[in-house]
């Protein structure tokens, strides 16, 4: 407020200066200094100069100072000095009324002549007032007016850019939502397609396994027939040999049963067929016996070890077995366990060997490669196998092994 005092012989300006003096003496870097109409109540040029010097002092101290003024020179000072900034209350140029909105970075115009014009001060008086304005004041007013216009334009540009940014964000969100929906639909389509492929492969595998099971039964039945025919042929040959063999012991002179075979390579007699052969392997109470080029599976208790005592039967028996044609020179063991696959493949090779089928195919699939490797290791040791290799790419590649049998 106005601190003039007749008692203390203080004018308004004097009281103003004393208040500023007290502030300067007590101000620190933590002080907040509020100055209303700094440098007023004296000649405007001197008042503006004094106000600038005071603000510089507070800036030097580091105090935060907020000052109001109508001096254009101070407004230009704030605009051109680092650490000092303008702020103004917005003024409606059309209605010549304040909007009470604070605008940072903008120096406001006092608009005294415009307000006087709105209040219908005589035109000649207004024109005279304009003529009396100092050139520096006119330039400052013009500068501030241009600055205000630039700030207004920047505000409009900022508003436009903000609207464009918001429009872009809305568009981006819509596009993203659309892409997300398309992505979901594509994922659903691929999943559906994969489900169909898996279902089709599963059904195909089931059909192949079922077909393989039927084929195995046929192979087993055929092998049993061939072995039975071989046994009958051996019996007929034995009957032809026994009457002419003077060295053959009579039934009463036959020795008691020999010990059961214990391992590979032992010479044994097949009791039920009355033929001799060599043990190829023994597993789970069943032995593979090689009789010439024929491999038979017989229970161990149907075999007896041949020892070098007493006369021997003739060692060479010629079998005349007409080979039978295989229904299919291929077997499918996809999906089977290794033991099951090897057992089926072994019976298949027996049939193929007896039928003189060459070459034959074992379809085991790719998978992890474990079944293919197990079959390869097994074929390396198989007595019927001459060589084996993977099928050409067009015929199954590494999922099929082609086996060439011995003559």
54: domain CATH number is: 3.40.50.300
Residue 144 half-sphere exposure toward CB, CA atoms < 13 A: 24
What is the β-pairing status of strands 64-67 and 32-35?
parallel
Indicate if 16 and 143 belong to the same structural domain. yes
- Do both 138 and 25 map to the same domain? yes
Please, which pLDDT band fits residue 31 given cuts at 50, 70 and 90?
very high
**209 and 274 in one domain?**
no
Task: Please indicate, yes or no, whether residues 23 and 144 belong to a single structural domain of this protein.
Answer: yes
Q: How confident is the model at residue 220 (pLDDT cuts 50, 70, 90)?
A: low
* Same domain membership, residue 136 and residue 76: yes
pLDDT at residue 248 is higher than 50: no
Check if the beta carbon of residue 107 is closer than 8 Å to that of residue 147.
yes
Does residue 251 lie in a domain region? Answer: no
* Residue 319 within a domain: no
The pLDDT tens digits for 89-108 are: 888 877 778 889 888 888 87
In a domain? residue 223: yes
* pLDDT tops 60 at residue 194: yes
> How high is the mean pLDDT of the chain?
81
Please write the tens of the pLDDT for every residue from 387-405: 999 999 988 899 999 999 9
CB burial of residue 1 (10 Å; 0-12, 13-18, 19+): exposed
Number of domains in the chain: 4
Residue 297 included in any domain: yes
| Pair (340, 395) in one structural domain | yes
Please check whether residue 392 lies inside any domain of the structure: yes
Expressed as residue numbers, the domain containing 389 is: 330-405
Looking up residue 365, the CATH number of its domain turns out to be: 3.30.1370.110
HSE-CB of 220 using CA atoms within 13 angstroms: 8
Do 104 and 142 sit in the same domain of this protein? yes
Give the pLDDT confidence score for residue 202 in this predicted structure. Answer: 76
Listed residues 121, 148, 175: the one ending a domain: 148
Last residue of a domain, one of 88, 115, 148: 148
Task: Quick: pLDDT tens for 44-71.
Answer: 889 999 999 999 999 999 999 999 998 8
Same domain as 103, residue 50 = yes
Own/partner long-range contacts of 44-51 (Cβ < 8 Å, ≥24 apart): 44/71, 47/71, 48/73, 48/74, 49/73
pLDDT score at 111: 72
Global model pTM greater than 0.85 = no
Percent helix, percent strand, percent coil in the chain, to nearest 5: 50, 15, 30
221 and 343, same domain (yes or no)? no
Token couple for 224: 């049993």
Q: Based on the domain organization, do 170 and 144 belong to the same domain?
A: no
pLDDT per position as a tens digit, 309-321? 344 444 444 444 4
Would you list the DSSP string of 313-324?
--S------PPP
Average pLDDT for 260-265: 78
Strands 330-332 and 360-363: parallel
45 with 118, same domain? yes
106/35 same-domain check: yes
């Amino acid at each position: 407020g106005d601190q003039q005092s007749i008692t203390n012989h203080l004018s308004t300006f004097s009281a103003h200066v004393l208040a500023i003096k007290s502030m300067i003496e007590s101000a620190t870097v933590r002080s907040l200094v509020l100055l209303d109409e700094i440098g007023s109540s004296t000649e405007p040029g001197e008042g503006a100069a004094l106000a600038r010097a005071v603000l510089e002092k507070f800036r030097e101290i580091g105090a935060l100072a907020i000052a109001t003024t109508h001096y254009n020179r101070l407004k230009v000072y704030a605009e051109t000095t680092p650490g000092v900034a303008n702020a103004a209350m917005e003024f409606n140029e059309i209605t010549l009324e304040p909007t009470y909105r604070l605008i940072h970075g903008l120096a406001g115009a006092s608009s005294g002549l415009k307000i006087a014009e709105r209040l219908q001060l005589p035109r000649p008086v207004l024109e005279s007032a304009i003529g009396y304005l100092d050139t520096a004041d006119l330039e400052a007013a013009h500068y501030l007016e241009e600055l205000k216009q630039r700030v207004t334009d920047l505000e409009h540009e900022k508003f436009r850019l903000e609207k464009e940014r918001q429009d872009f964000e809305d568009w981006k969100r819509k596009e993203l939502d659309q892409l997300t929906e398309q992505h979901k639909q594509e994922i659903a389509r691929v999943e559906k397609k994969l489900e169909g492929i898996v279902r089709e492969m599963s059904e195909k595998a089931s059909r192949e396994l079922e077909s393989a099971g039927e084929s195995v039964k046929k192979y087993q039945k055929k092998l049993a027939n061939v072995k039975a025919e071989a046994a009958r042929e051996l019996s007929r040959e034995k009957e032809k040999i026994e009457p002419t063999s003077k060295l053959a012991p009579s039934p009463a002179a036959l020795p008691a049963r020999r010990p059961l075979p214990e391992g590979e390579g032992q010479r044994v007699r097949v009791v039920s067929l009355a033929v001799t052969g060599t043990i190829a392997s023994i597993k789970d109470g069943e032995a593979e016996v090689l009789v010439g080029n024929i491999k038979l599976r017989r229970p161990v208790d149907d075999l007896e070890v041949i020892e070098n005592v007493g006369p021997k039967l003739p060692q060479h028996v010629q079998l005349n077995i007409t080979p039978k044609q295989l229904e299919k020179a291929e077997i499918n063991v996809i999906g089977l366990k290794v033991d099951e696959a090897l057992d089926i493949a072994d019976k298949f090779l027996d049939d193929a060997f007896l039928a003189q089928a060459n070459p034959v195919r074992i379809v085991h699939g790719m998978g992890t490669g474990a079944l293919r490797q197990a079959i390869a290791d097994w074929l390396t040791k198989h007595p019927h196998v001459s060589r084996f290799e993977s099928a050409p790419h067009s015929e199954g590649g590494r999922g099929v092994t082609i086996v060439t049998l011995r003559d």
